[in-house]
Every structure is written in structure tokens, then in C-alpha cells.
Chains A and B, each alone.
Chain A
Amino acid sequence: MLRKYLAKGVLAAAGLSLSLGLSASISAKAQELTIFWAEWDPANYLQELVNEYTEKTGVVVTVETTPWPDFQTKAFQEFNAKGDSYDMVVGDSQWLGAGSTGGHYVDLTDFFKKHKVADIMAPATVKAYAEYDGKYWAIPVEGDATGWAYRKDWFEDPKEMAAFKAKYGYDLAVPKTWAQMRDIAEFFHRPDEKRYGIAIYTDNSYDALVMGYENALFSYGGDLGDYKTYKVDGIVNSDKAVKALEMYRDLYKFTPPNWSKVFFQENNQAITEGLVAMSMNYFAFFPALNNPKVNPHSKVTGYFANPAGPGGAQHAALGGQGVSIVSYSKNKEEAFKFLEWFIQEDVQKRWAALGGYTCHAKVLESKEFRNATPYNEAFYQSMFMVKDFWAVPEYAELLTAINNRIYPFVTGDKGTAKEALDALAGDWNGIFKKYGRK
């Protein structure tokens, strides 16, 4: 008797769970999208933006985040396992090579053609955040470049202006060239008063130091190599590059003490704690400096775009990310629909209003955008002169090599710039040979 009931019970339970499972899987699918990004304010702004998409279509979009230092690790780990935890990823521009050749990103070239994305977004951003090997792999989401914050009150103090003019022979003002920036840094470097000239990136655990150096290198008219032919000899160690590296080392001398492992946090702290006259940082981090509750000097903090070099060239190191569809996602259709919505002009306007750094050309050029904050004008200028690091799949090995070579020179004054860059050329040649690029 008992056995009969038991058997019936088991069958019923099995049937119930089966049907529940089926219905759950049917109903739960394709109504959710997950976007993976690093944990910072723009991700929060994106979450607010996509909530509007949810209201409109009922598709729940979640922006899942992880801290910056772990972002690359977690993303690629998921890719390598061919996992479907994330439908879309807002990846760094350097990931384009690895993402596309590794088969992790969905090819968006047709999407670009259909919706004329290349015309909608600023050309430099399309090239930097979307294109690899002639195809398109991401939609530019968060534009970014390095710029500079400075203490207007120090610059506009009449006593300082007089002393500066007396010492250097020209007016103290926002530097137009790196040579001027160096003079200003030297002028304001007063360790006894706990005031220092400048704050620059030096962290060599990933790409901070290199991005900082790029600002000098590109404006000096130099390059890291020919991105098409992989030639580095005579380019990465050119005279211009040597001069740029020496300038960067010179600037390190005017940084606060213990400044050998800094990235965006410390460079912002240098301004909020009133330590420096000028500080280098990505525009993404300037909202903090503009916030009076975070930066006691916000009213007197000004911003300028990366200065030009001796030859008149002016460029800024590229930051920023674009959103790609993960090829292992089970919701690709839904993701495409989302992207169609995302690229619309009013959505991009909304994105900019919330705090995202849109790459939409029209929105960028609008007076509204450029006047919205003290730094937007400098941002707008920078976005049309950005240059990037290598985007090949082995970019991280190239990063390790350049970190190894230039870090001891910049922070420890070991060796000469020429030696460091010549050795680097050798390293990079070796790496390119290993991957059959030469």
C-alpha cells in the first residue's frame, strides 16, 4: 500500500518539477540581458540608462560589474570557458584584437553598415573602439582620453604670475606645450611647503605608466610603431620618442614624494588634497574633481587638453570602451535590438546627461554638451585627437615589455632613454616574431 502511494508521489513530484522546469526555462529566456563592465560611476549611469529600455520593452537589462583590476581577468576567463553569463561586454579598446581573433566577439560589420554607425559616432572613436582588421566589433559607449586638471587659483595669483614672468620670461597660463608644462611644474615644486609641481601616471602593474608616456610621445610626434607593418625599429626608439621619454622622466622629478606607483585615484587625490599644480587623469575621473563635496578646491580647478609637443603635434592617449556582443551569448537577437536602441541620438543625449561620455558626433559637437561641465570642452577637443596603444591580441606582452624598460628610467633614473627604448625595440621585435607577424 505504502509503496503504491510512494510511487505515485514520486511520479507526481517528478512531473511537477519537470513542468515547472520547462516553464521556467521557457519564460525566463530572452527576457533578460546582462552587460558586463568595470565597477565605476559610468557603469552606474549605464544601469540608470538601461532601466529606461526596460520600461520601454520589458526586457530586464542588468549591468554587472567587477572592480577594474579584475575586469580583464574575469571577462576573458568567461570567454575562454565559452560561458554565457554575459550577453554583452563593455571592453577596453585593447581587447579588440584578442576579442575578435579569439572568436569571443560577434562581428558587427553588417550592423554598422545597416545603421550607418560609422557616420553617427565620431570618426576617431569608431577607429579606436570598434575597428580591428578591417571589421567592426564594438559600438563606442564611453569615450575617454587623458586630460589635465590644474589649480586656477595658483595660476591666477598675481604674485605667482609676476614671479613666473621674472624667472621664465613669458606669462603664466595654461601650458600650450610640454616645455611650458615642465617650466610650470618646476616653478610650483616646493617640497618644504608640501606643494609640488605635477602628478603623472606611474603605475606599471598594467597600462597606467604607458598611457602617461603616450601623452608625451604622441605630442612629440613620436609613435609606438607602425600598426600595420609591425615595424618598430627607428619608430619606438626614434629621437622624438627619446626626447618624449626624457621629458616624462623630468616631470617625475616634480611629483609629490612616493609617487612611483600611482594611477587615477592618487592623481585625483593630489588635487583634492591640494598637493599639486597640475594633475594628469582620464576625463572619466574628472567629475569627482568638479564635485564640491569631494574636491574642496573644485571651484578653482580648471581643465585643459593635452599640450602640444615641440613640433606642434598634439594628441592625447586614448581611454574609453565600446560594447560588444559576446559570441557565446544565448540572447544575441535581443542584444542586437538593444544596440539599435542605444545608438539613437536622443538616447545618446540622455546618456550624456546622466554622465556617460557619449561618442555620438552630433551630441559631442553640440554647445549643450560642451558647456555642460568645465571639462567637457577639453574632452571634446581631445576626442578628435586621440591615439591608442597596440590592439593586437598580444598587447599585454607588449605592455609588460615597455613597462619593464621605461619604469626604471622614469622613476629611478636608471640608464638612458635611448638605451631603454633600443632595448624595447628588441623586446617587441621578439614578441612580434613569436606571433608570426614578421
Chain B
Amino acid sequence: MAAVRTPGQRALSRVAVVAVVVATVIFLSPIYWIASTAFKPRALATSVPPTIVFTPEVTSFVKLFTRRVQLRKLPPKEKYNAAPWWEKAIYDGGERVLRVRGSVLLSAYPDRFVNSLIIGIVSTILAVGMGTLTAYGFSRFKVAGKDDWLFFILSTRMLPPVVVAIPMFLMYRAVGMTDTHVGLIILYTAFNLSFSVWLMKGFMDEIPREYEEAALIDGYSRMRAFFKIVLPEAVTGIAATAVFCFIIAWNEYAFALIMTNRRAQTAPPFIPAQVGSGLTDWTTIAAGAVLFLIPVAIFTFLLRNHLLRGVTFGAIRK
């Protein structure tokens, strides 16, 4: 049936579109500010009054990846001229790149970024996978004390990390899991399970049982019905859950700081700590934040159609 829209509905549509545009602009302007800060020369990041127009540069990204110290005195002309463009940019900013036996000392950022990727991806897969299965179990089957079990699962998210940190740290230490990727992966999975179970159960409950019943009558086993019928219907929920679980694991700060050190620490404790020479290094923080935003943004963008997919209803009517 073709939707015939009244003039009122059409006007409302147009207002809605304008509102969306306005909302998008308002929401994104702080992000624009952060992104533009990444490309500003250091001196302009906190200028009074704030700088809107400037010549962009990528010095902050160079700073993000290198270990530097403040210049005590300017380098000799030959040394300066012999340096590659990015090292010149660092000199211009009043610092020098640390070198050990000729090669540049990289900052911890690349390692931390890779750690974040590994830990984020694996823990999300685990949390969403286990969460979906468990949600289905609670949604479709009788479980003694179901509400209590669900509440228990919810309660695992209620304690502030600070409190759980010390016993958790001691526990990890006892089994040698501090500063390991596996340790954080397990922790984040446990962390996100509460959320993924509850969210997926919400979506599972929305999927009518008639579908599986029909499939069962048609000769499917329960397991096959789950994989072939229910899961495709739950794709919106799975996509949303995966996005959120990944974001939460990706940006987690407290446990990453406490449980890990050199080997397995992720990027979030590193990025805001860029203090260069007694001043907050805003441009480098912005550069770190911008780069760190990219994987999440890409992941969400790839899933966008699944996120917005409506649940379709076929032959079965309630």
C-alpha cells in the first residue's frame, strides 16, 4: 500500500530533516574542534581568543609517534639542515627527537594502538557471542530463578572499577595475568557480558516465537532454527551490541591503567597524558584521539545498514 502523505506529514518531514541537520552540526562541532586542534601549530591550540582559521600542519602526529625532550639550546645549523622534514618540525616546536644509536625512539603509541586492536576485537567477539547465546537461552527457555540470574548478571556492572581494582589486581598477579593481553581480554569480556546479555535479550524477546515454532514444525532442530531463523532476525541487535561492546572495550581506561604496563597496555591511558615541557600538549592529544577514533568509526560505518535494519515480518501475523 503506497503511503499517501498529507501536507501536514510532508511539512513535518521537512522540519525533521532541518532538525537533523542542525542537530548534527551542534553535536559534531566539538569533534570538529578536537580534530582541528590536531592540525594546529602548538602555539594556537589554546590561543586567547581561540583560533578558527589557521594553516594546518601534521607536526602533532609526528610528536605522537616519537619520544622527545625539550631543547636546552638550539641545534647547530648543519644538524638542523641535515634533518628530515619531520625532525625539523620538531626542532621548530622547541623540542628534539630522542635517538638511540641513530634510530629514532618511538613513543609507546604504536604498540598501545595495536594492543587496543587485539584486545578490543577479541573481547567484543567473545562478549557478543556468549551474550547472544545466553540471551537466547534466557529468552526462550524456562530457567529456575531466571529474574535473579538476570539481575546477578546486571549487578556485575554496578561496582565502580576503583573498588574492584585492588582485589582484581591481586587475583591477576597471583596467576601471572597482569600485563598480558589475555588478562585484559578476559576482563573486558566479563565487563561487557552483562550489557550484551541484557541488550540481546531485549532484542530476542522482540522476535516472535512463532518463527521458530514454524521452523520446528517444518522439521528443523532447535539448534538449526536458532542459527537459521533467529540469528538473522537478531542482526540489528547483534550489530548494536557489537558496536557498543567494542566502544566500551576500546575506550576503557581504569583497568587498562591498573592491570597493565609496558607489554599489554592499551592507548586510552596514554593519549590524555601528553604533557610536553610543562604544558598540556593539546595538539598531540588531539592527534592521538583522532587516530584512535578511526577504527571505531570505520567499524560502526561498516555496520550502519545492519544497525538501521528494521525487523521484517513475513507471512506470520500475530
* Chain A residues engaging chain B, CB cutoff 8 angstroms: 39-41, 44-45, 47-48, 51, 64, 66-70, 73-74, 77, 80-81, 83, 85, 194, 264-265, 268-269, 272-275, 281, 284-289, 291-294, 296, 354-355
**Residue numbers in B under 8 Å from A273 (CB-CB):** 46-48
9-residue interface stretch from B65-73, B132-140, B188-196: B65-73
Pair B71/A291 contact, Cβ less than 8 Å: yes
Pair A286/B269 contact, Cβ less than 8 Å: no
Name the 7 nearest CB pairs between A and B, nearest first. Answer: A293-B94, A285-B278, A67-B273, A288-B278, A288-B277, A44-B69, A291-B94
Closest chain-A Cβ to B80's Cβ sits at a distance in Å of: 13
CA distance A40 to B272 in the complex (A): 13
CA distance A211 to B93 in the complex (A): 31
Pair B262/A81 contact, Cβ less than 8 Å: no
**Residue numbers in B under 8 Å from A41 (CB-CB):** 69-70, 277-278
CA distance A367 to B87 in the complex (A): 34
Pair A264/B278 contact, Cβ less than 8 Å: yes
**Residue numbers in B under 8 Å from A275 (CB-CB):** 48
**Residue numbers in A under 8 Å from B49 (CB-CB):** 194
6 additional A-B pairs beyond A48-B98, A67-B269, A355-B69, beta carbons within 8 Å, are A41-B70, A41-B277, A81-B170, A265-B279, A272-B279, A292-B94
Total chain B interface residues with beta-carbon distance under 8 A: 35
CA distance A354 to B73 in the complex (A): 11
Give B69-96 as 1s and 0s: 1 = Cβ < 8 Å from A's Cβ atoms.
Answer: 1111000000000000000000011110
Is B177's beta carbon under 8 Å from chain A?
A: no
CB-CB nearest in chain B for A67: B273
Q: Which of B188-235 contact A (CB under 8 A)?
A: none
Number of A-B contacts (CB under 8 A): 98
Is B305's beta carbon under 8 Å from chain A?
A: no
CA distance A298 to B173 in the complex (A): 48
CA distance A286 to B279 in the complex (A): 10
CA distance A392 to B254 in the complex (A): 28
- In-complex Cβ contact of A287 among B68, B170, B275, B277 (8 A): B277
Is B257's beta carbon under 8 Å from chain A?
A: yes
**Known contacts A44-B98, A273-B47; A293/B170 CB under 8 A:** no
- In-complex Cβ contact of B278 among A74, A284, A293 (8 A): A284
Describe A's contact surface by its main secondary structure: helix
Is B42's beta carbon under 8 Å from chain A?
A: yes
Closest chain-A Cβ to B46's Cβ sits at a distance in Å of: 6
Pair A51/B278 contact, Cβ less than 8 Å: no
**Known contacts A269-B46, A273-B47; A73/B70 CB under 8 A:** no
Closest chain-A Cβ to B277's Cβ sits at a distance in Å of: 4
**Known contacts A41-B70, A273-B48, A355-B70; A287/B261 CB under 8 A:** no
CB-CB nearest in chain B for A296: B43
CA distance A268 to B281 in the complex (A): 12
**Residue numbers in A under 8 Å from B273 (CB-CB):** 39, 66-67, 69-70
Describe B's contact surface by its main secondary structure: mixed
**Known contacts A70-B269, A81-B173; A294/B277 CB under 8 A:** yes
Pair B169/A77 contact, Cβ less than 8 Å: yes
**Residue numbers in B under 8 Å from A83 (CB-CB):** 173
Please name 6 pairs of A and B residues whose Cβ atoms are closer than 8 Å in the assembled complex, sorted by A.
A39-B273, A44-B69, A51-B100, A66-B269, A268-B278, A272-B279
Closest chain-B Cβ to A193's Cβ sits at a distance in Å of: 11
Closest chain-A Cβ to B20's Cβ sits at a distance in Å of: 33
**Residue numbers in A under 8 Å from B93 (CB-CB):** 293-294
Closest chain-A Cβ to B99's Cβ sits at a distance in Å of: 10
- In-complex Cβ contact of A294 among B42, B257, B258 (8 A): B42
Pair B257/A70 contact, Cβ less than 8 Å: yes
Is B280's beta carbon under 8 Å from chain A?
A: yes
Closest chain-A Cβ to B95's Cβ sits at a distance in Å of: 8
CA distance A4 to B93 in the complex (A): 67
CA distance A355 to B93 in the complex (A): 18
CA distance A368 to B275 in the complex (A): 29
CA distance A12 to B173 in the complex (A): 32
**Residue numbers in A under 8 Å from B258 (CB-CB):** 73-74, 77
**Residue numbers in B under 8 Å from A286 (CB-CB):** 278
Closest chain-B Cβ to A328's Cβ sits at a distance in Å of: 12
Q: Which of B26-45 contact A (CB under 8 A)?
A: 42-43
**Residue numbers in B under 8 Å from A70 (CB-CB):** 257, 269, 273
